[in-house]
Amino acid sequence: MRVLVEKCDVAGVSTMEDYIAEAVVKLGHDVIRWDRRELFPTRAADVGFVWNDNFHQRTRDAMHGTKIIHAEYGWLSDRKSCIQLDDCGVQGRASWVDEPLVFVDTGETVTTKDGPILVCLHYDGVKIDDDCIHNPYYHEDALGWLTMLSNCAASATQFIVRPHPNSWSCRNAVCRDYVNRHPRMRWDDESPLDDVLNECSAVAVIMSTAAGAALEKCMPVLSFGPQVFRKEGAVYCLDNVCIRTAAAMSELASRACSLRTSAIRAMVDKMRTKQWYPETRQTWPARMRKEFDL
């Protein structure tokens, strides 16, 4: 079998890709390394491991006929030290996203605290991912999302708005200007994520791995987009309907969160079992054979 493994020059990512190639070689397959700055080698491989899924349409067309397995960093606080591999896609397109969350409901609910709500903007800073804009119940742009959050919140609710760490500042300008004019919002693009989480009472996300770090702390998460952790009981599953968002925020304001601690712990444990850690990469070949039929 001929297996293509992407090779990039981004520190951290390149190391993970080398680990993938190493595991494929141990399975006895021929490995082709590919740089995405080059044309995708049409039908040169039976299987291709690629990083994320943000490709030009020309590259997507060239991938036709090759089984693609997507790699991305993990979803929890140790995300840069592990990866997720999935042949259906990244984030909310993962193959197991529709699996039911199994947990024993002990009746224990999340303990909330006073503090602002952390709002994590999407990578682009303006438009929202295709997974959301093709669904009429999600938000089409970040500014509209911020406006709805403000309108649905109690008058005393404060927000800290955090741009995606890799987004271009010019793409965040509209939201930054809105936040700087808003009396109950504060823009923060400098503080370490863990420090901000410790200051906040809850986290609102569309597509952000900051939610994984929040769940590890058993914090309430308001989920407004397709994600692996979007399960009732573990997070507030919300959309662009203001009345549902207002109800969730009212719960948080009254310190009466209905989310279950057992559901959150089960979600964190499940996310962790889906990740691939370099420390155990001696098991990667067997796992690849089992999960991807290599």
Q: Please name the residue that has the structure tokens 């690629």.
A: 50
* Token representation of residue 201: 């009472």
Same domain, 200 and 221: yes
Q: Is residue 36 part of a domain?
A: yes
Residues 190 and 253 in one domain: yes
Same domain as 228, residue 145: yes
Q: Are residues 280 and 199 in the same domain?
A: no
- Residue 240 phi/psi, 5-degree rounding, is -95, 15
How does 80-104 read in b/e, with b if 16+ C-beta sit within 10 Å?
A: eebbbbbeebbbbebeebeeeeebe
Query: What is the per-residue pLDDT for 124?
Result: 62
Is the residue at 34 inside a domain?
yes
- pLDDT of amino acid 123: 67
Q: Does residue 162 share a domain with residue 211? A: yes
**Do 249 and 282 have their domain in common?**
no
Domain presence at residue 99? no
Nearest-5° Cα angle at 177, 251 to 166: 80
Which two structure tokens, joined as six digits, stand for 285? 């070949």
Residues of the chain with pLDDT under 70: 123-137
Q: Domain range holding 130?
A: 117-271
**Structure tokens, 1:** 């079998």
CA distances from 99 to 95, 231, 269, 276 (A): 9, 10, 14, 19
Residue 265 is assigned to a structural domain of this protein: yes
Q: Indicate whether 63 and 87 sit together in one domain.
A: yes
| Residue 108 lies inside a defined structural domain of this protein | no
- Same domain assignment for residues 138 and 237: yes
- What is each CA distance from 26 to 2, 70, 263, 287, in whole angstroms? 13, 20, 38, 12
Percent helix, strand, coil in the chain (nearest 5)?
Answer: 35, 20, 45
**Total domains present in the chain:** 2
Domain annotation covers residue 142? yes
Answer yes or no: do 69 and 212 share one domain: no
> For residue 258, what are its two tokens?
């209905």
Q: What is the pLDDT of residue 260?
A: 96
What six digits make up the tokens of 95?
Answer: 């193959």
What's the predicted TM-score (pTM) here? 0.90
Q: Which of 86, 12, 79 has its CA nearest to residue 288?
A: 86
Q: What pLDDT shows up at residue 154?
A: 86
Q: Is 177 helix (H, G, I), strand (E, B) or coil?
A: helix
pLDDT confidence of residue 21? 97
